[in-house]
Structure 1
Amino acid sequence: MMKTLLTITAAALTLMGCAQEAGFHNDAALPAGAAGVAADFGAATAANHQAMTNPGEATVQLGQRFAAEVDTTVTFAFNSSQLDAAAQAVLITQANWIRQFPEIRFNVYGHTDLVGSASYNKRLGLARANAVVNFLSTQGISRSRLEALVSYGETRPVIATQAPEQQNRRTVTEVSGFVKGAPMLLNGKYAEVIFREYIASAVPPTTLSTSATATLDSIQ
């Protein structure tokens, strides 16, 4: 009997250690969906909670996530605001991400290289920002969520050169905040996002190590 209890206790301690290594916790202060699971599990519910309680910090974190998960920049040909196939492909991935979070607003910033006058380049940068907004709107994104069209013209180059430079001829899409009056509720559509996030963040069971497998084989 004593040997059985010791075996059960040892097994329990081993499981607790594995849970700690995997980043599991049980903090009742965390929002629903984040307690008792891996630290990155329930991210959508946690984000929704934070948006309701601290929208400024939530905006920063969503902006960082957007920048990490999609390419936020498209580039243009010299003296052009036309979107080529590569730019459209990037914007389609942006639109797919944006559609998942209907409560978020975005800014589109237009830029140019340093060739030409400052006033002309500011107009060209704005034309590029408008081209991006127009394309995103064809992908089902409301223009009210892309209302801030800003042109920095030639004032913020990626590469400081007077020569034509494609990396400077660009637009950048960024999270700017939350739609005014948007309900921060776990409605059906947002619940779909949460479900997808749970599935995406789930960690598959750890496979047995080679040595453990060899041990089991020898027992069999």
Structure 2
Amino acid sequence: MIKKLAALSVLLISACSDGDGNVVPSWVRESGSVVDSGTFGEANINNLGIQNGDRSYVLSLANRFAEEVPNMVNFDFDSATLDENSRAVLRQQANWIREFPEVRFKVYGHTDSVGSNGYNKSLGLRRAQAVVSYLGSQGISRDRLEAVVSLGKTQPLIVTQGRERKNRRTVTEVTGFVSGHPNILDGKYAAIIYRDYVNSAQAKTGLEGLALGGGSE
């Protein structure tokens, strides 16, 4: 009995789970690979982002974008073509995006529940790419836009197995800051968010100065 327990202990020490429920002997994997499931180090990255203000200000900008402009456009059934209403919404998005050249965005593509998972993921991606292309035509750098995530039919707004226009959509979201942009190298993320408020205050001060000077010639 003691020998069996000892053998079992050696087996447990020598093997562990790979994160997918599969037991992998440690002697056939590189050191640390079983521990790292693909997210190793993210806690440090997140903590650094919180400390220097990056993460909190990205969240503030994301909330502000969603509040100030429509972040969603809808599509006809089995279509990735933008109609005039969608283009009007995207022009509003482009106007907002131009105010913040340091900010990056992602466009997520969605579908309704009709059709296979594979087809709908492809359709959702084509919808996201159509939005990115149109924003690019409005002067937004493609380096700041990503259409790499397609959620297909996995996140419906309205749960139904039938056709539903509200589920056939894209969502534009703030995802971070442009790497290496000179305006964020000093970490003054708050100045980026409130820059338009600061600019409006400076413009007002200039008008007040003009009034105090007795008017213009």
Bin of the TM-score, shorter chain as denominator length: 0.5 to 0.7
* Aligned residues between the structures: 150
For 1:57 and 1:201, the matched residues in 2 are separated by: 29
Q: Corresponding residue for 2:135?
A: 136
Q: Corresponding residue for 2:164?
A: 165
Question: What TM-score, normalized to structure 1?
Answer: 0.63
Q: Corresponding residue for 1:174?
A: 173
Change (3 A) 1:127 1:153: same
For 2:163 and 2:64, the matched residues in 1 are separated by: 31
Change (3 A) 1:200 1:166: farther
The alignment's C-alpha RMSD in Å is 2.7
2:144 maps to 1:145:
yes
- 1:49-64 equivalence runs, <5 A: 53-64=52-63
Could you tell me which runs of 5 or more consecutive residues in structure 1 were left unpaired when the two chains were aligned. Answer: 1-49, 203-220
For 2:73 and 2:158, the matched residues in 1 are separated by: 15
Question: What TM-score, normalized to structure 2?
Answer: 0.63
Over residues 184-211 of structure 1, what are the superposed CA-to-partner deviations in whole Å (9 max), with x where a residue is unaligned?
269xxx7973544437999xxxxxxxxx
What is the CA-CA distance between 1:150 and the residue it aligns to?
1.1
Could you tell me which runs of 5 or more consecutive residues in structure 2 were left unpaired when the two chains were aligned. Answer: 1-48, 206-217
For the 8 Å contact 2:128–2:147, the answer to whether it is kept is: no
For 1:64 and 1:192, the matched residues in 2 are separated by: 16
Q: Corresponding residue for 2:201?
A: 198
- 1:97-136 equivalence runs, <5 A: 97-136=96-135
For the 8 Å contact 2:109–2:127, the answer to whether it is kept is: yes
Change (3 A) 1:159 1:197: farther
Q: Corresponding residue for 2:69?
A: 70
AA matched with 1:170: R
Q: Corresponding residue for 2:31?
A: none
AA matched with 1:193: D
Secondary structure, aligned partner of 1:150: strand
2:80 maps to 1:84:
no
For the 8 Å contact 1:52–1:184, the answer to whether it is kept is: no
